[in-house]
Amino acid sequence: MGDTFFRGLSLLRLPESSHLSYAQGLLNSLWPDCDLVLTVHTLDTERAISSLKLKYNITRTLSASAFNKNYEAEQKHQELDDLITEEALNDPQAELPYAHWLRPLWQLAQRLSAQRDLVRGKPENNNRIDYSFSLQGSPHDPDTPVQLIARRRNAPLDRLVAEYMILTNNLWGGMLAEHGVPAIYRSQQMGRVRMSTQALPHEAIGVAQYAWCTSPLRRYVDLVNQWQILAAAEHGVSARLVAPFKPKDADLFAIIGAFDAQYAVWNEFQNAMERYWCLRWLQQQGLHTVQASVLRDDLVRLSCAPLVIRVAALPELERGQIVNLEIMGFDELALELDCRYLDAVAA
């Protein structure tokens, strides 16, 4: 279970048939009325929803603990973006919505990020630009106007959400490990990313362990981990005996294998849709030349859109060199953009 986000439409990956994957079949057998369950537990505004929540008890040493089960309100990210700036967060006199809790959260997020940087051994690079697409019409119509929206990953709201998601996944993962309750962790060591049932370090993030826990309606792994968390919260030291998945449970390993395979399929589909809408956007803009940044060999990333392409006969250039390209043609079936190298932009 999870979401595939392709531009203009989100496809909810519901467990409607057991042949899709082991995890989907397992959820279908456990929840025959899964559609109803998802509707009941979706975090809509103006409704009291039962959900697992981590309650932080922050001290000067940045320790955090305790949790309970309630949810109070939902705020839409895009409605606050223009109001919550780094300058407003750092200026106590500036107007800021929800200032009484956003400023303390911001201060703590910066300290948490610095703490992770110490573990990582270097600052985190959040200067990359992410893009989102908005379709001004039906996603089934190839002529639907496409709006491409640039967004820096170091925007304050993005950093707040990311930092507390990391903290939550780290703390809950640590709590499960302390209770001897197995969970599904994502780790990175020596550059290799893998999923396992052991609490191992994630070196790129800079945490001792990282368990996907925060999106139980969007990703099946998170739902499994929240079942385990509830068992630990309710049963303490005896949780490993009553948790849905016991130590060395074969079903848990099967879920990891099924999820890895399905996740690769989802990513391939999502990447294909993003490339398609990038090509449509470029055509709609009527662009004949574009700039790009050299990645390696003949591979470049466009500066105006999230699209990586190969350029034939590209001269040997340093990584990061900006080049001018002429657009020669579009192939919407192969999802390729044909470009010709013009020249390198002087530094």
CA-CA-CA-CA torsion sign (262, 265, 266, 267)? positive
Give pLDDT, residue 303: 94
Token pair of 318 as six digits: 């340093």
Q: Indicate if the alpha-carbon torsion angle 162, 77, 305, 1 is positive or negative.
A: positive
Q: What is the pLDDT of residue 142?
A: 82
Q: Are residues 73 and 109 in the same domain?
A: yes
Domain match, 28 and 173 both: no
Along the 347 residues of the chain, how does pLDDT read in single tens digits? 444 444 444 444 444 333 334 344 444 554 555 555 556 666 665 666 667 778 777 766 555 544 444 434 445 566 677 788 999 999 999 999 889 889 999 999 999 999 999 999 998 887 778 888 888 988 888 889 999 988 777 889 989 999 999 999 999 999 999 999 999 999 999 889 999 999 999 999 999 999 999 988 888 999 999 999 999 999 999 999 999 999 999 999 999 999 888 888 988 998 999 999 999 999 999 999 999 999 999 999 999 999 999 999 999 999 999 999 999 999 999 999 999 999 999 97
Q: How many residues does the chain have?
A: 347
What values do phi and psi take at 100, rounded to 5? -65, -25
Q: At what angle do helices 22-30 and 220-235 cross, to 10 degrees?
A: 50
Q: Let me know whether 141 and 266 are in one domain.
A: yes
For residues 279 and 256, state if they share a domain.
yes
Count structural domains, the chain. Answer: 3
Neighbours of 204 (CB within 10 A): 15
For residues 176 and 279, membership in a common domain is answered with no
Same structural domain, 110 and 258: no
Helical H segments across the chain, by residue range: 22-30, 34-41, 77-80, 86-90, 99-120, 156-178, 220-235, 239-242, 250-285
Residues 261 and 324 in one domain: no
Integer CA distances (angstroms), 137 to 15, 40, 78, 145, in order: 28, 29, 19, 7
Same domain, 138 and 164: no
Indicate if 20 and 149 belong to the same structural domain. Answer: yes
CA distance 229 to 233: 6
CA-CA distances (angstroms) from residue 32 to 13, 18, 27, 29, 223?
Answer: 16, 11, 8, 6, 16
State which of 197, 222, 248 marks the end of a domain. Answer: 248
| In a shared domain, residues 103 and 56 | yes
What pLDDT, on the 0 to 100 scale, is given for residue 19? 32
Q: How far is CA 50 from the centre of its chain?
A: 23
Please give the pLDDT value at position 14. 43
pLDDT at 153: 77
- If asked whether residues 171 and 220 sit together in one domain, one would say yes
Provide CB contacts within 8 A for 128, sequence distance 6+. Answer: 152, 153
Report the CATH number that the domain containing residue 297 is assigned in CATH.
Answer: 2.40.50
Where a domain ends, among 238, 264, 286? 286
85 and 224, same domain (yes or no): yes
| Domain end among 200, 222, 248 | 248
pLDDT number for residue 10 = 44
Contact 188, 202 (CB under 8 A): yes
Range of the domain at 331: 288-344
